[in-house]
Structure formats: C-alpha cells, structure tokens
C-alpha cells in the first residue's frame, strides 16, 4: 500500500489526472452554441430526463473519428456526435444512445456507428431495454460507404434483439434516409410534434421526382406518422412529456423475454364491481359507444396506455394493469366504423399481439365486431392477407389469453378476435352477446329469401323471420350451451372475473412445434 501512496503523490500523476479532467469536461461540454433551440434539448439533457438522476454511466466519451479528407482531419470532436451508455429507469437497468445534433448534425460516421453497435451489443448481453434518442442528419457523406455499413450493423442488431429485449425509438429531430429504418425495426416509436420528421426521401427529392410540393412536417411529421402511416406509436407536443411517457412505458415492460413485467402496487380492489358497465354498452347493436370507457372501468385505477391511439382507431390496443399485473388489451371500438376490422386495424392488432407474446404479457380481448370492412379498396388492398396477420399472431401466441364478447361477434372477424377455436384459454360473454355467422337481418334475407319474396307482405315476413333467427341461433346462451364460451357473466363483475382467470393462468406453459421460424402472411 505504501507504494501506491508514493505513486499517487508524484506530481506528474496529478498533472495527468488534471489533464484527464479537462479533456472529459471538454468532451461533455461539446461544441459551443446550438445546444438547444426552442423546444429542442441537447443529447445529454435528453438522457438526463430519461434516466434516474445520477445513474448514467457513459461509454465512449473520448471516442473520435479517424477519417480524413473534406476537412474532417481538422474536425475531430469527442463523442463523434453520439452519447452512449447505461443507467436506470425506476431502478431498472436501461441502455441508451442519443444523437448530438451539435456534432456533424448528428450524422452517422464509422466511429459513431461503432459506439452504437457496442451499446446495442451490451444491452442484448445484459438482457435490458434499449432506448435510442434519434436526432441525426443521416449518413455522414464525407465518410462515404463506411457510414452506410454502419447503418447495416445497427439494422442487423435491431433484428437480432427483436423479441429478446424491448427496443424503443424516440425521434426528436430529423430521421431521414437509412436512419429511418432502425426505428421501424424497433418495438415502439415516439415522436414530438413540430421537431420530429421521418422520411426516406426529403421534400426536395419529392419535388424533383414527382413535382409534389410538401413541407418536412407534411411529409413525415409526428401527426402524419401517428395518424396516416402508422409508423409512430406515440406523438406528443414537447420533449419533456414525450420522454416522461417513455419512462412510463418502460414501467409496463419486462427487462427481456425471459422475465415478466414488474407487478405494480395495488390500490384498486380486485373485487370492485362496476355497475355502470351494465348500461354503458347498448343492447341495440347499431348504437355506438366508446370502448375506452369500458376499459377504464375494468383496469386498475382506470389507467391504461393506448398504443397507436390515432391510427386504425376502429381497434384499441393498450397496456394496463389488472390487480397490479400488466396485461395487453385488444378491443373493438364501436365508435369508429362500428368496430369493423380492416387492413390497418388487422396490422395494428397483429403487431401488438406479437409484442405482448414476445414479452410474456397476457392478452385480454374485448370483442364487439360486426365483421370485416367490405369494399373493392379493401379487397384489392389485400384485406385477406392483412386479416390473416392478426389471425396468425393470435394462433401463434403462447401467453395467457382471455376473450370477452360484449355484444356483436359476427363471421370471420369473430374467429380472428381470439375466439376459443383459435386457442383462447378462457372465453366469456356478456348477456348482450350475439355470436353468429352474420347479423340476423342479413341471415334472414339469405335463409328465407324465397318465403319473403312469395309472402303477401314481404316486410312483415322479413321481420318475423329475423325474430325467428335471432330467437333460435342468436340468443345469449346459444354459444355457452355449445361450449363456444365458458360462461356468460354479469358485466358489473367483469373485473373480478378477469383477475381470477389471469391468476389461474399465471403458470401457463405452452410450447410451439420445433421449427426455425414460421412464415407469417405479409
């Protein structure tokens, strides 16, 4: 020990340590000016908002590029434009990288990419979530093809980590060209209105090639991707709110695919009855209602995080807790297009079901679906192929699956929405349920077509046949009598019923056939 003391007192060592502190301070400070304009925060401010205070451990702080030409040899800032490392979110380990737009505009070069590769490899090895804070100008043109190869390494790691650790992309500035593919490969994409844009080719290229005039926001802004393209899962008005919601989402996810999500504190009694549910859903199948109100009555403290809230709004996908346990909810939304399934809703549901299955999150499906949306556009757009994605996702899921039919459940859409026949573990129905090949009116028109046509009063005959069909084949207990649902339950007691079923299924184990992978519909 005395030798160590002697070395530490050598003046040269203290000079070296002092120099190190200066270099580190310079690297942390980064280039002067341009740190944050308006609502735009710096990379380190963003990391500070994401992670628990004082928990960030940086990797590659002193990394610099080794490229030359085009003036690069004279510009070798520390970090090379990306801040990488790990920390904690509510005490749980999370890895992160954040583009620093002050350095080369956040553009990706060889050293920049290698830093990202390293932190991605560390996240996968540690079995912890990875959050990317994207704000870059694409590939660093001065470095040529090596920058493109750097993107390839990121994409390969995104795919390798898919379904193993949660991957969350937060787009906080431009994300153009090849850079846009990495967020598209991750589990969730967050964007901020007014500052975030994602596109493969910018407005200038679009104008040159097609003659279309469009702004950056109009081409790839947050609302465009949240409402039209479905690329963005969550859109917010400011960075602080956006990053706070990333923290909330992380609290609902497990660390990796070998764990379950952390159980939350229970302040809402599991046996709480909701008498309002009895009147919330109209018995008349043609009357709309808001399914999110039903969800609010069922889940703990009425809190849930809706995924893709503004896209394919005829289907609701949400993460919530029941008796403290995280569940994924897939629900028809009768308030939009009467809750029918279409191309976009099928894609939305399939992706969500796959995510929940990958990360051991039980599924609760609330069904009030009149069928698939008819029309030439839907058929030519491949509604069969896209609808099959949702069907495939449910059939392939091995997590606990509970299905509840609130009202309508018609045709193929009934089967696709996690019916017992495709593997739902427990199926329930409310006394307002109508499970059938189609609605009573349509069925009567087909089955009793001749009698109606030959009747003296066709309309009166049609009404009588509709009542007869409904009484024979669509009464609330028809499916239960034939074992297609396990029980018809009191709507007010639904919360307790779901919680008890989930508790029973907590130790469920199911194995898929041995195979390299399936070949899902595309």
Query: Taking every pair of C-alpha atoms in the chain, what is the biggest distance, in angstroms?
Result: 114
The catalytically annotated residue of 138, 177, 220, 439 is: 177
The catalytically annotated residue of 137, 235, 338, 413 is: 413
Token look-up 């992706």 returns: 351
Strand duo 92-99 + 197-199: pairing: unpaired
- 411 as an active site residue: the answer is no
- The angle at the Cα of 183, spanning 181 to 186, to the nearest 5 degrees, equals 110
- 413 as an active site residue: the answer is yes
CA separation for the pair 463, 19 (Å, rounded): 90
Contact between residue 119 and residue 110 where contact means Cβ atoms under 8 Å apart? no
* The total number of residues written for the chain in this structure: 522
- 54 as an active site residue: the answer is no
Write down the H helix ranges in 65-168. 110-126, 145-161
DSSP 42: P
Q: For residue 331, what is the enclosing H or E element? A: strand 325-332
CA separation for the pair 294, 280 (Å, rounded): 8
The catalytically annotated residue of 30, 138, 178, 411 is: 178
Cβ of 505: how many Cβ atoms within 10 Å?
15
CA separation for the pair 252, 234 (Å, rounded): 15
The catalytically annotated residue of 324, 412, 442, 493 is: 412
DSSP3 helix / strand / coil % (the chain, rounded to 5): 45, 20, 35
What's the CA dihedral at 137, 183, 306, 359 to 10 degrees?
A: -150
Q: How many CA atoms lie within 13 A of 408 on its CB side?
A: 27
- 264 as an active site residue: the answer is no
| C-alpha distances out from residue 79 to 17, 51, 119, Å | 20, 19, 13
What's the CA dihedral at 171, 175, 180, 186 to 10 degrees?
A: -20
The residues carrying an active-site annotation are 177-178, 412-413
């Amino acid at each position: 020990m005395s030798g160590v003391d002697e070395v530490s007192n050598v003046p040269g060592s203290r000079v070296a340590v002092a120099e190190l502190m200066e270099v580190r301070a310079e690297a942390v400070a980064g280039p002067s000016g341009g740190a944050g304009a308006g609502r735009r925060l710096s990379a380190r401010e963003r990391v500070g908002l994401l992670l628990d205070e004082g928990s960030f451990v940086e990797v590659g702080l002193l990394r610099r590029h080794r490229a030359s030409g085009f003036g690069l040899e004279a510009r070798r800032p520390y970090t090379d434009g990306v801040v990488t490392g790990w920390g904690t979110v509510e005490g749980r380990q999370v890895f992160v990288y954040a583009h620093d737009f002050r350095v080369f505009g956040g553009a990706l070069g060889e050293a920049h990419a290698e830093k990202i590769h390293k932190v991605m490899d560390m996240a996968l090895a540690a079995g912890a979530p990875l959050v990317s804070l994207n704000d870059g100008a694409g590939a660093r043109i001065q470095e040529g093809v090596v920058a493109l190869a750097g993107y390839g390494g990121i994409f390969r790691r995104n795919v390798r980590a898919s379904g193993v650790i949660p991957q969350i992309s937060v787009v906080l500035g431009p994300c153009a060209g090849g850079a846009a593919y990495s967020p598209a490969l991750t589990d969730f994409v967050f964007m901020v209105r007014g500052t975030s844009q994602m596109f493969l080719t910018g407005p200038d290229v679009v104008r040159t090639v097609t003659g279309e005039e469009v702004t950056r926001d109009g081409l790839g802004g947050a609302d465009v991707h949240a409402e039209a393209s479905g690329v963005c899962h969550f859109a917010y008005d400011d960075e602080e709110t956006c990053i706070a919601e990333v923290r909330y989402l992380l609290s609902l996810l497990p660390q990796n695919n070998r764990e379950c999500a952390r159980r939350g504190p229970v302040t809402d009694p599991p046996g709480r009855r909701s008498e309002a549910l009895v009147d919330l859903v109209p018995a008349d199948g043609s009357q709309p209602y808001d399914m999110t109100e039903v969800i609010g009555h069922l889940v703990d403290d009425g809190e849930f995080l809706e995924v893709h809230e503004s896209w394919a709004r005829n289907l609701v996908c949400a993460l919530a807790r029941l008796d403290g346990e995280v569940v994924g909810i897939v629900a028809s939304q009768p308030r939009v297009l009467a809750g029918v399934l279409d191309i976009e809703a099928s894609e939305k549901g399939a992706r969500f079901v796959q995510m929940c299955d990958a990360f051991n999150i039980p599924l609760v499906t609330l069904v009030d679906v009149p069928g698939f949306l008819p029309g030439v556009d839907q058929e030519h757009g491949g509604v069969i192929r896209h609808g099959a994605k949702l069907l495939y996702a449910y059939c392939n899921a091995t997590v606990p699956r509970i299905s509840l039919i609130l009202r309508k459940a018609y045709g193929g859409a009934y089967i696709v929405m996690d019916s017992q026949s495709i593997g739902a573990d427990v199926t329930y129905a409310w006394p307002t349920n109508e499970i059938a090949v189609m609605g009573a009116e349509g069925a009567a028109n087909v089955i009793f077509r001749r009698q109606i046509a030959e009747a003296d009063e066709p309309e009166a005959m049609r009404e009588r046949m509709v009542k007869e069909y409904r009484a024979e084949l669509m009464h609330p207990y028809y499916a239960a009598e034939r074992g297609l649902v396990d029980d018809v339950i009191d709507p007010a007691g639904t919360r307790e019923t779901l919680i008890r079923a989930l508790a029973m299924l907590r130790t469920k184990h199911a194995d898929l056939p041995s195979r390299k992978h399936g070949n899902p519909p595309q």
